[in-house]
Amino acid sequence: MNAIKHFLLDEDATTAVEYAVMLGLILLSAISAISTFGVGTGGLWGGIAAQL
């Protein structure tokens, strides 16, 4: 029980949670940017393939 209490009161746990949330937001924005870029270039490559 003391270990759980110590973990909850320790500032390192808060920092770890903040970093995890920040990492999640960065990954979410990177995945959405890559997805948007892929959809945008998909039409470009489709048009080039149709012209060939």
Quick one: tokens of 9?
């009161």
One DSSP character per residue, 6-42 reads HHHH-HHHHHHHHHHHHHHHHHHHHHHHHHHHHHHHH
Q: What radius of gyration, in Å, describes the C-alpha atoms of the chain?
A: 22
Mean pLDDT of the residues in the chain: 84
Average of per-residue pLDDT across 9-31: 87
Answering whether pTM is above 0.85, one says: no
Phi, psi of 6 (to 5 degrees): -65, -40
pLDDT value for 46: 78
pLDDT for res 32: 94
pLDDT > 70: what percent of the chain? 92
Q: Which residue has the higher pLDDT, 39 or 27?
A: 27
